[in-house]
Each structure stands twice: as C-alpha cells, then as structure tokens.
Structure 1
Amino acid sequence: MSSTKLFKNVRLKGQKELTSILVEDGVFKRISADLPERAGCEVIDLQGQLFIPPYVDPHMHLDYVFTAGLGEENGSGTLFEGIQRWSESKGHMTVETSKTNAVLEHIGRTNEIVFYDQMGFYRMLMTYENTAPMKRFADEVLGEIIAYEKKAHTQLMETMWTYFECDCNLQRTADKLFSHKNTVKYRLQRVEQLTGRSFADRFDSQELYNALMIYYYLQ
C-alpha cells in the first residue's frame, strides 16, 4: 500500500522562507512552498523546524550502482556477510540486469520487479551502443523546452511525463502533481508552442513521448 506524506512549514538549511515537502513511498517527490493537501495524504506540520537529511554512509562502490535489491540480503549487517553476499550475487548478474535497473530508476519504477524481456521500447534502446542519434532526436524534439526550463525554472518536462503516465488525463495529472487542472493545461499548451507539436495529433504525441523516454534513458 502506497504512503504519501506532506510536510508543511519546513525550514531548510540556508533558506529563510518556509516550504513544503511531498514524500511518496519514502521518495522525495516535490519541494515547493505551495503544495496543496489532498485526500489520503498524511499532513505533518513541522512549525518551522529545521529539516535535514539523516546520517548516511556515503561510501559506495560504483560497480554496485543499480544492483540494490538483487541477490540475498545482508541479514547480520556485517561487512563480512556483505562481502560474501555480493560475491554470491555478482556471478548471476548480467549487463541487461544492470541496464534494466538503471532504466527503472529513471522512470520511477524502482519498487517493481520487471524483467529485461518486459522492458518493451527501452529494451530496444539498450541494444544501441551508439547513443548519438538518439540524443540528436531528443534534442530536436525537446531542445526548446529544455532551454526554456533552464531560464524560467518551469516544470514542463515533469508535467508532460506525468501527463503521459496518466494516459493523457488532465485531472489525474493535476492530482498527481498537486497542481490545478488549468495550470497543467497551460503547461501543456506551452509545450505545444515550444515544440510545434500537438498532443491531439497521434504522430506528434508519439514523437513527444518517445523523445521523453530517450531523454530520461540517456540521463
């Protein structure tokens, strides 16, 4: 069962103004001063208290990246068992396994068990070692949006991705983004203006979606 928490009146280090933080299933989703409350969301008022990250061990080998959750868990929590478990698991891992986990991380599906042969369009992308043509295509379609976001600090890319995730349903997109329906509609219209493509046109819409998938895959 999913868990959503909204922390209000949060003080962040180095910032004078209070803000709000949205956490879904243990993942920080949004940080903004104007996040609205919604049904089913636990609201926690910190009343101006300082919000800081917990103590973590930053020591991480790069060859472990995107392998979390694979193999047996370290039941004792000791370094010795950790080394043993990693040695046992590493021999069963493949390049496809690592790539699949990397993609799932980018598209926010880390809580799911998805096999390589279930990756669909992404499985095709993984077969290309030369990613330059893919990057050119993504830049051609999304370049104006990316440049605009850097200047205006908007959420056009996030809104467009969520819109596709919600089967192009405006209200569901607005609910998921904690935004007003008209705000989402305006952002999507801005996307159409910047890209010269229309969500109402099936070919244009498919191009936008493919470009987004490629863009996040290459990040």
Structure 2
Amino acid sequence: MAILLRDLYKETKSTYGLDLIAGEEGLDHLMNWVYISEDPDTLEFLHGGELIITTGVLCGNEYWLYNFIKGLIEHKTCGLIINIGGHLNRSDISDRIRMLCDRKHYPLFLMPWETRIFDITHDYYNRIFDDTQTSQAISTALSRVILHPNDKALMEISLPVLYEHGFQADAQYHLVYISDLRDTASMKPTAAQTNTSIQQSEHSTISSGYANTAGSFLQNLLTRLVRIYNLPYTFVNGTDYTLLISPARSNERLEQELTRLLYYMGESAGTTSMYIGISAPTKDLIGLSQAFLQGRCAALMAQKKNSSLFFFDDMGFYKLLLSVSDMDVLREYVNDTLGSIITYDEQHHTNYLETLYQYLLCDGSIQKIAGALFCHRNTVNYRVRILREDLHLALDDPSTRFELMTAFQVHSYLDLFS
C-alpha cells in the first residue's frame, strides 16, 4: 500500500520543520518511498510515487532547479523536500518554480538545514514499512478467509490477525468485486470456480497488486480516493481484480459511494473501464467466502448489462441457481426441457427457440410476439402451431410454461458462466 502525503505532512511537519510553499492541491498524492536525489541523471531509476529529498548540492542556477523539478514531475514523483540553508536558500525558489508546482499540483516543501536527513528518511521508511506490513497481513488474512474458509489451520492464524485490526467474527460485511475491463476473459469463472467451495490457489489468485501498469495505475488511484474520502474499505488485490471489504451498509449508501469513486476515477483516468459487483451482506466474517462468489457473479451481470455496477440482491432467479454446485444438473435440465427445440432449429435452420421464449414473455399474445420478432402475425401463428403439434409442447398448461421459462433462465445463467 502507500501513505497519503497529506497525512504524512500533517503528522510530521512540526517534527522536521516542513514548510509547504507550493503545490498544495497535490497533497492527496500517495507516497510509497523516499528517495534522496542530487543528480537529474538518476531520475531514470524512479518508478513513480517517491517523495524526493535534495540539498541542491549540484545546483548551479535557477534554471537547473526548475528543470530538476520538471523532471521529477514527469517521472510522477509525489513531491519534493528541499533542505535549505546549506547549498540552497529560500530566495533560490523563484516565482517561476512556485508557479510550476502550483500548476502541476506538485507539493514543494522546504526543510531547515538543521533537520537531519537521516532522521526524516528513517522515520518515513519505518512508516512505509509498518503500513505495508499491516496492509499485507490484513490482505493475506482476508484472502485466506475468502478462499479457504474450511481450512482450520489457516483460520487459526488468520482470524486473530483480523480481530486485532478491528474485524468482528459476528459482524456483517459487504464485498465489492472490481474487475478491469481489459481482462474480462479471466473474469469469467469456470464451472469449478462457480462451486461455492471456490477451490482456487491462494498464491495464484491473490497477489500484492495488479500485474499490468494500467491496472496498477487504476488500483493506486482507487486507493488514493478511498483514503481521501475516509471510506471504511479494506483492500484485497488479485491479479485481475480488486476486492473492497467494508462493514455492511445500505445498498443506497454503497451505490452512492461507489458511484462517486467511479466518477472521480473517470475524471482522472479518462475512463473507468471497470465492472463492479456488490455482494449481499454476509451473516458473519466467514461469510466473505460466499460473498466473493456473489460479488464476482454480480460483476459479470454488470458486464452483461453494460452497467458500471450491479448488486447481487438484484440478480433475481440467478440467486437461487448459485446454490447449485453441480453445473451438470443444470445443463441436463436445459437439455431435457429445451433440447428437442434446439435440435429442431439446428436441423431445419429455424428459430423456434426464440419464438417460444417470446411466447412465454408475451403471455401468448400473438400481436406482442409479432412485434418483438418483427414478423407477421401469420408467421407467429404458424410457428406456435409447430411448437404445439410437432414439438408437442402443452403451451396452455401453466406448469409446462413455468418449466420452460425456468429452463430459459437456467440456459441464460449457464451462458453467463461458460
């Protein structure tokens, strides 16, 4: 994880005499490392997110410092601390430099020469280490609860970690599943993954972050937004998704928070390009395992409906089907109920399956069916006769119509997860 620069400045400005002189709007950047640099040639070694400290020992003139800061901004560092009083003074920070930092929202701090660089870097390294260790411990413990709830040995070492950091055994939680559009193929679970046991490898599924640069950018942006708005979300990062775990709240509040996050991510990244699925509230902490499946299915439904987010509570009949662990049973039901019609269509190059579906949706109204299929009423009447007489469907029988519509729902469900 990373530390919000605003929090770091607030907590340490008195200790180290830090003075923010420009770029205040950039205090919501994340700081993931501290780097001492005196030479612009070393900027190529930066990865982004570093807080830079310099004494300006190689600074020859105002243009050198301006270009140095410009390079730091281009390499996406989060801010610069200038140790003044030795090689640089406050008067060396020109209006042109301040304007650059303000325009680019790049925090520029001054620190008195008396402050020892060792002290501030040692402090910041420890903060980063502690934050990373804590975040990793919680993420690992949550991933084990989610993926291996029946492994008693793992629960014995994971649950105490979560209890220590404020999680409660009997509390209710929501799981928010966020999938990146660029990897929707890996988003679809197989039949085995759809089983409520979720037999997956923890090592291959849960990792410290995204595997690609674009995903890492979005994940870091999401982390920053969650911390800025002080939202009660805990992160679990997968190779192709991010999970947010939060205490159970109303769906309305969750939708409001997540919609706001999507909006600001869209503003910053140009596009959200994500699907979000929100689980039903769990009964307890161990219920996060089932919530993971629910969130993933809801994200798939969001993808199918081309919607930014979708609640598991709104999945209707699919909620019942998720309790069926044997997908072959569902396939057999579809084949027993609709198989003869599917075979007939394949042999005769017809589309009676769609006609039957519209017949059920339109409650047998020939006019409505014709409108839905964009064909003549006589064509619909002919197809319905074939369904009744040749395919032997008792369309006037309520129980038959119920079984047929159920088969269509199961067929759609299987298509979603195939």
Pairwise TM-score range, normalised by the shorter structure = 0.5 to 0.7
Q: Find out whether 1:100 has 2:223 as its counterpart.
A: no
SS in 2 for 1:176: helix
Q: Find out whether 1:131 has 2:327 as its counterpart.
A: yes
User: How far is the alpha carbon of 1:125 from its aligned partner?
Assistant: 0.6
Whether the 8 Å contact between 1:145 and 1:194 is mirrored in structure 2 is no
Q: Tell me how far apart the structure 2 counterparts of residues 142 and 176 of structure 1 sit (CA, whole Å).
A: 21
Query: Partner letter of residue 135 of structure 1?
Result: R
User: Which of 146, 157, 163 pairs up with 2:359?
Assistant: 163
User: Which of 227, 242, 253 pairs up with 1:90?
Assistant: 242
Whether the 8 Å contact between 1:116 and 1:123 is mirrored in structure 2 is yes
Query: Partner letter of residue 141 of structure 1?
Result: T
TM-align CA RMSD? 3.3
Deviating above 6 A after TM superposition, structure 1's stretches of 4 or more consecutive aligned residues are 86-89
User: Which of 161, 178, 186 pairs up with 1:63?
Assistant: 186
The residue aligned with 1:184 is 380
The residue aligned with 1:28 is none
Whether the 8 Å contact between 1:144 and 1:194 is mirrored in structure 2 is no
TM-score (norm 2): 0.31
User: Which of 304, 313, 327 pairs up with 1:117?
Assistant: 313
SS in 2 for 1:90: strand
- Cα 1:194–1:146 shift into 2, 3 Å: farther
Whether the 8 Å contact between 2:370 and 2:380 is mirrored in structure 1 is yes
Q: Tell me how far apart the structure 2 counterparts of residues 134 and 166 of structure 1 sit (CA, whole Å).
A: 25
TM-score (norm 1): 0.55
Query: Partner letter of residue 172 of structure 1?
Result: K
Q: Find out whether 1:198 has 2:410 as its counterpart.
A: no
Query: Partner letter of residue 185 of structure 1?
Result: N
Q: Which has the higher helix share?
A: 2
User: How far is the alpha carbon of 1:179 from its aligned partner?
Assistant: 1.0
Q: Any gaps of 5 or more consecutive residues in structure 2?
A: 1-180, 190-212, 224-234, 236-240, 245-276, 278-291
Q: Tell me how far apart the structure 1 counterparts of residues 411 and 395 of structure 2 sit (CA, whole Å).
A: 18
Query: Partner letter of residue 296 of structure 2?
Result: S
- Cα 1:194–1:137 shift into 2, 3 Å: farther
Q: How many residues align?
A: 149
Whether the 8 Å contact between 2:219 and 2:242 is mirrored in structure 1 is no
User: How far is the alpha carbon of 1:110 from its aligned partner?
Assistant: 4.3
User: How far is the alpha carbon of 1:133 from its aligned partner?
Assistant: 1.9
Q: Any gaps of 5 or more consecutive residues in structure 1?
A: 1-57, 67-77
Partner deviation per Cα, 1:189-214 (whole Å, 9 max, x = no partner): 32233542222111111111111111
Larger deviation: 82-91 or 92-101?
82-91
The residue aligned with 1:3 is none
1:29-40 alignment, distance < 5 Å: none
- Cα 1:65–1:143 shift into 2, 3 Å: closer
Q: Find out whether 1:154 has 2:306 as its counterpart.
A: no
User: How far is the alpha carbon of 1:103 from its aligned partner?
Assistant: 5.2
Q: Tell me how far apart the structure 2 counterparts of residues 112 and 177 of structure 1 sit (CA, whole Å).
A: 29
Query: Partner letter of residue 208 of structure 1?
Result: L
User: How far is the alpha carbon of 1:111 from its aligned partner?
Assistant: 5.2
User: Which of 329, 339, 347 pairs up with 1:143?
Assistant: 339
Partner deviation per Cα, 1:32-81 (whole Å, 9 max, x = no partner): xxxxxxxxxxxxxxxxxxxxxxxxxx964523459xxxxxxxxxxx9364
